[in-house]
Amino acid sequence: MIHYRTDKEIELLRNAALLVGKTLGEVGKHIRPGIRTIELDKIAEEFIRDNGAIPAFKGYGGFPGSLCISVNDAVVHGIPGNYELRDGDIVSVDCGTILQGYVGDSAYTFTVGEVSDEIKLFLQRSKESLYKGIEQAVAGNRIGDIGFAIQSYVEQFGYGVVRELVGHGVGRKLHEDPQVPNYGKRGSGTKLSEGIVIAIEPMITFGKRDIIQERDGWTIKTKDRMPAAHFEHDVAIRDGKAEILSSFEWIEEINK
């Protein structure tokens, strides 16, 4: 069932999404070689709770962390633990909040210390693919238009698009209808209408698109052990132009 949100609800969703952006910015300040991923998780949980919200991921389906922290060949759903970040790592941080009963959900892939130009370009293009998808998230278009825009953009560079995991509607629950694949055909799938709010989240692989699940039951990795990137925004469908509710502003302040 697809929910159509009122302007008031969209403002509540924006507040939750902006808190995610602020949390990712706070986490980003501490991303450096030597820090353990569990420490980043504690920073995020404390920040979220201090701002009157609840970590949306903690306990969701039994997930133990407030953040999904996925390093290098981990695509998504990495469990925070004792791994110490190293120079040259890339780390995808996915965060969710529940604020006044509404969910925010956003993700960003950070660099740790110095990474190769090849990987920097991979991350840049992966992030660009998110915005290519968002451009298509307007009333009258279809879900397939979003996926086609993402897929056609990244595949021209030889990257892969994960098929098994998708974006989703977001509202009072973390995962709602419709599903939003990062691949697809133009003009296919659910028609987009004003008031639908979705999380668009390209999961892009540097090598082949095949994935495997680790024994922990959560962490998804690339089968070929090549790096992966994950960027995500919450978006309200509008006439003419999509409205991005989340923000990378606080993250990109750090990276200036």
DSSP characters over 91-106? EEEEEEEEETTEEEEE
Q: What percent of the chain has pLDDT over 70?
A: 99
Q: Is residue 2 part of a domain?
A: no
Q: Is residue 14 part of a domain?
A: yes
Each residue of 112-151: pLDDT tens digit? 999 999 999 999 999 999 999 999 999 999 999 999 999 9
Please report, for the domain that includes residue 151, its CATH number.
Answer: 3.90.230.10
* Closest by Cα among 172, 226, 234 to 201: 234
Looking from the CA of 15 toward its CB, the CA atoms found within 13 Å total: 15
Domain containing residue 128: 7-254
Q: Is residue 128 part of a domain?
A: yes
Average the pLDDT over 35-61 and give the result.
98
Please answer whether residues 68 and 215 qualify as being in contact, where contact means their C-beta atoms are separated by less than 8 angstroms: no
Q: Is residue 1 part of a domain?
A: no
Q: Is residue 104 part of a domain?
A: yes
Q: Is residue 96 part of a domain?
A: yes
Instruction: Report the pLDDT value the prediction gives residue 254, as an integer from 0 to 100.
Output: 84
Each residue of 160-178: pLDDT tens digit? 999 999 999 999 999 999 9
Q: Is residue 223 part of a domain?
A: yes
| Neighbour count for residue 167 (Cβ, 10 Å) | 29
Q: Is residue 130 part of a domain?
A: yes
pLDDT band at 256 (very low <50, low <70, confident <90, very high): low
Each residue of 177-227: pLDDT tens digit? 999 999 999 999 999 999 999 999 999 999 999 999 999 999 999 999 999
> How many domains in the chain?
1
Each residue of 84-122: pLDDT tens digit? 999 999 999 999 999 999 999 999 999 999 999 999 999
